[in-house]
Amino acid sequence: MSQMFCFQCEQTAKGTGCTVGGVCGKTVDTANLQDNLTAALIYLARAVNASGGKSLADDVEAPLSAPEKSTCSSTGSFGVAGAIGADCTDCTDHTDSTIEAIINGLFITATNVNFDNGAIERQIEIINKERVKLTSQNRDCSCDDACDETGGYDMAQLWGDNEDVRSLKSLLLFGMRGMAAYAHHAAVLGKSDETVNSFFFKGLSALGENKSADELLSLTMELGSVNLRCMELLDEANTGAYGDPVPTKVGRSIDPGPFIVISGHDLYDLKLLLEQTEGKGVNIYTHGEMLPAHGYPELKKYPHLKGNFGTAWQNQQREFVDIPAPILFTSNCLMPVKQVYADRVFTTSVVSFPGVAHIGKSKDFTPVIDKALELGGYSNPKSMSVMNCGGDTLTDCGGSGNTLGSSDALTVGFARNTVLSVAGTVVDAVKAGAIRHFFLVGGCDGAKPGRNYYTDFVRQAPKDTVILTLACGKYRFNDLDIGEIGGLPRIMDMGQCNDAFSAIKVAVALSEAFNCSVNELPLTLVLSWYEQKAVAILLTLLSLDIKNIYIGPSLPAFVSPNILNALVEKFGLTPISTPEADLEKILG
């Protein structure tokens, strides 16, 4: 009998599931607590549905269903959740604390976010208090058993369900975990959407119900559509606060003196850190998915935002061993912290690891700054390792002068506004034959063998093709210098994983310019996946009926053969093979 069960990430044990400890590093106890947390979320969602899904705002206008697109803003807090449209309309309302509990609870259970049993237990307590608050106020309502203090959910029911039902419910659950990450980052900037919030209750409730495969498949496509709105919401939040990204070269070397490395996705945390370190002689370097922050005008204006430290998240246990500086983790991509550098690691928000210092809601980063001053940084300039200086593994190029096509700086900031500003040039280049094809090569990076496929694919892509990229998968090739076309770099970094929204907007604009559908464009998506945000993005792409997507390095363990066949037949979803074979198939 297994001690735990988890198969939500790409590197799950034996390609089937982790049962005696997570490959990601989480313990059996942590995995089971995460299941308990998910069960509590399902129970809370049922209680919300039983109350009619009403928010405090509903008492004023009492809408019976969420508007198709509506945004609530209250800077620095989570917005009020919208109505779900359930039949019971006489029960007491829920508050913004309910949606905050749901979003944080889902985000905590995503891969590489939280390894701290105490923190998970505290989140379960928060969720249970929200449920009790709802049920205690609804004693007289004639709703279903979610109004009672019974009716909890056992996750063993999901993991032991019919293979296809389990597959679809897993897609739904993991996709919501990914969307919750985006909703969380938008919320800290004061952006919340009723349609997004409502779906969390709807989707979580469905996990605890008997649904047919057709009903569940419909829900996963609905999740994809809602996640598009969620990514749009985060895009509005980020660009509204920090401006539209612009092309920016980012250095890869570290200056002498005190510095802090900030990792993750939360631009708000970066902004606060930049403000709190201003004038203190402490430089800031991004890491992993924080790299695209350098393109935002309101962030890049700080002169002590110096450059980028290291490569993708999976290399951190090597790259941080001798670092004379603290590291602040703001979101997922935290690996189990090694004792040799544990005293330098800080977490914040939903991220937590046992024995590691945590910065709470005050966002007072003084302990991080003090640690940077104490450690002092490097005494001489330090050249950082890159991925592709003579191979496909972490390698030290020793700075400039190599002959293997590695650039000395990384270039970011090719979000939709930048790309669309030269749309005329791009269209003309395509019509003239200078650009034959576009590839969107992006997604998550990871440690499992086989990901050098993406390096080789980009290297072998013909010189008349353009590579758009986003998320941390770009570290497999973003240090390569593969030239330009018509003054435009052949590799264009569009941003973090949530900036898939930018890529979608560019694709739609190009389809309009060429008077064709997106599927008729000279464009192919070649995706790498690792965790749950990639699941949410894939569902968004499928909900838009984008076809013939290549995906790898391996297929999700939670997608059953029948469900995979259905996705292949309907959308042409294609597992990667070899770069040579796939390029030949795509380009002919």
Distance CA(318)–CA(287), nearest Å, equals 14
289 & 170 share domain? no
Q: What CATH number is attached to the domain comprising 200? A: 1.20.1270.20
Task: With respect to residue 389, please indicate whether it lies within any of the assigned structural domains.
Answer: no
Number of domains the chain is built from: 3
**Token pair listed for 442:** 């992006």
| Region 13-32 average pLDDT | 96
Q: What CATH number is attached to the domain comprising 421? A: 3.40.50.2030
Mark which of 217, 241, 265 sits at the end of a domain: 241
278 & 322 share domain? yes
Task: With respect to residue 579, please indicate whether it lies within any of the assigned structural domains.
Answer: yes
pLDDT digit string (tens) for 450-469? 899 999 999 999 999 999 99
74 & 147 share domain? yes
Task: With respect to residue 405, please indicate whether it lies within any of the assigned structural domains.
Answer: no
pLDDT digit string (tens) for 573-582? 999 999 999 9
419 & 512 share domain? yes
**Token pair listed for 568:** 């292949």
Mark which of 383, 403, 425 sits at the end of a domain: 383
On the question of a cis peptide bond just before residue 579, with omega within 30 degrees of 0, the verdict is: no
Average pLDDT, the chain: 88
DSSP three-state, residue 484: strand
pLDDT digit string (tens) for 25-54? 999 999 999 999 999 999 999 888 776 655
pLDDT digit string (tens) for 311-359? 999 999 999 999 999 999 999 999 999 999 999 999 999 999 999 999 9
pLDDT digit string (tens) for 185-222? 999 999 999 999 999 999 999 999 999 999 999 999 99
366 & 435 share domain? no
272 & 207 share domain? no
428 & 481 share domain? yes
Mark which of 241, 270, 304 sits at the end of a domain: 241
The whole-number pLDDT of residue 93 equals 53
Task: With respect to residue 467, please indicate whether it lies within any of the assigned structural domains.
Answer: yes
**CA nearest to 132, candidates 149, 111, 115, 154:** 149
485 & 348 share domain? no
The whole-number pLDDT of residue 52 equals 61
Residue 380 identity: N
Task: With respect to residue 399, please indicate whether it lies within any of the assigned structural domains.
Answer: no
261 & 235 share domain? no
366 & 439 share domain? no
541 & 436 share domain? yes
Distance CA(42)–CA(201), nearest Å, equals 8
**pTM given for the model:** 0.90
Task: With respect to residue 198, please indicate whether it lies within any of the assigned structural domains.
Answer: yes
- For residue 310, pLDDT over 80 is answered with yes
Residue 219 phi/psi, 5° resolution? -65, -40
Element (H, E) at 428: helix 423-432
**CA nearest to 309, candidates 257, 267, 253:** 253
Q: Return the C-alpha torsion angle 274, 276, 279, 281, nearest 10.
A: -80
74 & 121 share domain? yes
Task: With respect to residue 162, please indicate whether it lies within any of the assigned structural domains.
Answer: yes
pLDDT digit string (tens) for 107-119? 999 999 999 999 9
Domain containing 464: what range?
Answer: 414-587
- Are 114 and 350 in contact by the 8 Å Cβ rule? The answer is yes
Task: With respect to residue 494, please indicate whether it lies within any of the assigned structural domains.
Answer: yes
